[in-house]
Amino acid sequence: MSRPAVIEIDLQALKANLATCKQRAPQSKTIAVVKADAYGHGAIKVAQTLAETADMFAVSCSEEGMLLRQQGIVTPILLLEGCFGLDDWQRAYEQGFQLVIHHQAQLDALAVQPETRQFDVWLKVDTGMHRLGFSPEQVTEVYARLLADKRVASVKIITHLASADTPESDFTQRQLACFNRLLEQLTPKPQVSVANSAGIVAHANSARDWNRPGIMLYGIDPMAAPGKDIGLIPVMSFYSQIIALHQIEAGEYVGYGNAWQAQRPSLIATVAAGYGDGYPRNAPSGTPVFINGFLAPVTGRVSMDMLCVDVTDLPKAELGDRVELWGKHISVNKVAECAGTIGYELVTRLPQRVPRQYF
Ligand SMILES: Cc1ncc(COP(=O)(O)O)c(C=O)c1O
């Protein structure tokens, strides 16, 4: 038997989440965001699964787009940060990638492309996040310039929301007001894209012609504080097994640095998964895992290949029992919260050594 740490990916759940997404915004087309290896879920399998239902895929760079094309994915692909260098322009032309243009340097690079080439571009406007995009004051002029350029087949307008996951903030509505003011000035009226997952979930007025869901496709709640259940199904489950059990006395320690001390006679299960598998090292004692239908707390420091769990209160815990580190019973957001990070980070930094199994 091989090492039991494994990532299971539920492709039916993925399809169901895209359907949920579409139901929430039936007028919008969907750009499924599959960057960073589909948030660690495996971009090829995810794109193959969604190829017929997503209207477009979004990736962060042309290399990620190429990976999909090489597997025969013909769905339109948007490069969210556009082209970085000349190679990207070449690939974008050859593969028909759609491009975000967010900066003067990209306009300059477009201007030296042969006039025989044509690109579908998404002009990015900065409505307040100040990460990428032209200021609203610049956009009217850039829009006109793009429309007049022979190399431009179409222009759409895109912006990104900074705080859609925090509904108590009015920032999203301020961004939307800024965006709407800008759109009034543009002729002809372009197609536009605003909403990420949190926009789709919590700000119905951010759903426009094209939505860009990422995290919600993977069944992870996009809201900063657990939002209302909208029926998303976790796609990824991270499992391993109990590989050792030890009865210890009160006063004894578990793990590196003696960071956890038993307050009573305790049964400690050692689980074959650690930070070398992507489980966060800074998950403190008390972070839950799921064994045989019950929650049990991580005890002591997470090591590279293993972590320990106090299973004293479980009715049953045996060698070989399956342990869910996150998945359908413990959300990755819960583990992330314990570790002081976000679910996005945990799923995107899983190493290759943990095999992915798809079903
Ligand atoms: C420009 C852009 N659009 C959409 C998304 C998807 O966001 P989310 O995963 O929160 O839905 C991202 C993700 O970071 C992004 O950068």
Q: Please indicate, yes or no, whether residues 258 and 175 belong to a single structural domain of this protein.
A: no
Please report which confidence band the pLDDT of residue 14 belongs to, taking 50, 70 and 90 as the band edges: very high
Q: Please indicate, yes or no, whether residues 241 and 138 belong to a single structural domain of this protein.
A: no
- In a domain, residue 230? The reply is no
Q: Give the closest residue (by CA) to ligand 1 atom 14.
A: 214
pLDDT reported for residue 268: 98
Q: Please indicate, yes or no, whether residues 214 and 303 belong to a single structural domain of this protein.
A: no
pLDDT in tens, 258-270: 999 999 999 999 9
Beta carbon of 215 within 6 Å of any ligand 1 atom: yes
Q: Give the closest residue (by CA) to ligand 1 atom 13.
A: 214
Q: Which two tokens mark 125?
A: 């406007």
- Whether the CB-CB separation of 269 and 245 falls below 8 Å is answered with yes
Q: Please indicate, yes or no, whether residues 118 and 256 belong to a single structural domain of this protein.
A: no
- In a domain, residue 78? The reply is yes
Q: Please indicate, yes or no, whether residues 204 and 245 belong to a single structural domain of this protein.
A: no
- In a domain, residue 95? The reply is yes
The answer on pLDDT for 1 being more than 80 is: no
pLDDT reported for residue 115: 94
As a whole number of Å, the end-to-end CA separation of the chain is: 20
Assign residue 251 the CATH number of its domain. Answer: 2.40.37.10
CA of 33 to the centre of ligand 1 (A): 7
Total domains in the chain come to: 2
Q: Please indicate, yes or no, whether residues 315 and 352 belong to a single structural domain of this protein.
A: yes
pLDDT in tens, 140-190: 999 999 999 999 999 999 999 999 999 999 999 999 999 999 999 999 999
- In a domain, residue 208? The reply is yes
Q: Please indicate, yes or no, whether residues 199 and 271 belong to a single structural domain of this protein.
A: no
- In a domain, residue 231? The reply is no
Q: What is the DSSP string of 28-87?
A: SEEEEE-HHHHHHT-HHHHHHHHTTT-SEEEESSHHHHHHHHHTT--S-EEETT--SSHH
Beta carbon of 124 within 6 Å of any ligand 1 atom: no
- In a domain, residue 6? The reply is no
Atom of ligand 1 nearest to the CA of 213: 11
Residue span of the structural domain in which 214 resides: 11-218
- In a domain, residue 352? The reply is yes
Beta carbon of 197 within 6 Å of any ligand 1 atom: yes
Q: Please indicate, yes or no, whether residues 112 and 258 belong to a single structural domain of this protein.
A: no
Q: Which residues are catalytic?
A: 35, 256
* Mean pLDDT over each residue of the chain, to the nearest integer: 97
pLDDT reported for residue 214: 98
pLDDT in tens, 297-324: 999 999 999 999 999 999 999 999 999 9
List strand residue ranges (DSSP E) for 187-340, in order: 192-193, 210-211, 236-248, 253-254, 260-261, 266-271, 288-291, 294-299, 307-310, 322-326
Q: Please indicate, yes or no, whether residues 129 and 273 belong to a single structural domain of this protein.
A: no
pLDDT in tens, 201-223: 999 999 999 999 999 999 999 99
Q: Report CA-CA distances (Å) from 214 to 34, 99, 152, 200, 336.
A: 7, 18, 27, 11, 17
- In a domain, residue 4? The reply is no
Q: Please indicate, yes or no, whether residues 55 and 149 belong to a single structural domain of this protein.
A: yes
Q: Please indicate, yes or no, whether residues 46 and 161 belong to a single structural domain of this protein.
A: yes
pLDDT in tens, 115-135: 999 999 999 999 999 999 999
pLDDT in tens, 34-81: 999 999 999 999 999 999 999 999 999 999 999 999 999 999 999 999
